[in-house]
Amino acid sequence: MSVNINTVYQRVSAILNKEQRGYVTPQEFNLFANQAQLDLFEQYFYDINQFGRIPGNETEYSDMIELLEKKLSIFETVGILTANSGKFQLPIDIYQLGAVLYNNIEVERVTPKEWIYINQSPLTKPTDTRPIYKTSGTNLIEVKGTLLLTTGVSAQYVRKPASVLWAHETIFNEPLYDPTNSINFELDVAEETELVIKILELCGILIKDLSLYQVFDKEDQETIQQQKS
């Protein structure tokens, strides 16, 4: 289950009103909400890397990695790539590229320098059963089997979270939640509190309230420490 955008909006608004810290517009909230979601999403990769470095095989660390991988699993996808002028365009929502496949055969990634050497030697030249690929510009790759390939290539990748939106109608100069056109967070429902904290941090910066930022930044750091302890 994902996090409801209106639940987070109402919690953020209630805390700001209770503390008399000012008002954040729906437009500002949407900007902060998307930034908070992206920050938490990127933290998953950092945490997996950190827990993976811990020596030994203690159950608590194994469980944390499993939990993080489960949270990321909804963003794992496969896309068919389309070639243009001999180069394949990677999906626009890609965050991290996994395996590149040609007719269900995994393609070996090589550097541009290795690409030249491999293609020059008769013994190492790629084939349709042993293809290679290299990056070629922003979000572009070239794939070569016996010849330069233009079809049959797909990619496994982790996509970015979709942008969230707290949609509203203005009634008597007040924003009224529009559930039909709103877009919820894609993060696991367990991240709701962390999203609220991160958005409040950004609100503190916007309204130039250093104390608000410090309070919720401290809570954010304590939450991270608890997760890692």
Domain hosting residue 116, numbered range: 77-159
| 86 & 184 share domain | no
| 111 & 133 share domain | yes
Residue with tokens 């013994």: 123
| 167 & 56 share domain | yes
| 117 & 215 share domain | no
| 170 & 67 share domain | yes
Residue 128: other Cβ atoms inside 10 A: 14
* Both tokens assigned to 138: 């922003």
Q: How many domains would you assign to the chain?
A: 2
d(CA 96, CA 70): 16
Mark which of 136, 159, 182 sits at the end of a domain: 159
List the chain pLDDT tens, one digit each, 229 residues: 799 999 999 999 998 887 666 678 999 999 999 999 999 999 999 988 887 776 655 555 557 888 899 999 999 999 999 999 999 999 999 999 999 999 999 999 999 999 999 999 889 999 999 999 999 988 999 999 999 999 999 999 999 999 999 999 999 989 999 999 999 999 999 999 999 999 998 887 655 555 555 544 555 554 445 444 4
Mark which of 115, 142, 159 sits at the end of a domain: 159
| 96 & 155 share domain | yes
| 16 & 30 share domain | yes
- The separation between the first and the last C-alpha atoms of the chain, rounded to the nearest angstrom, is 26
pTM attached to this predicted model: 0.80
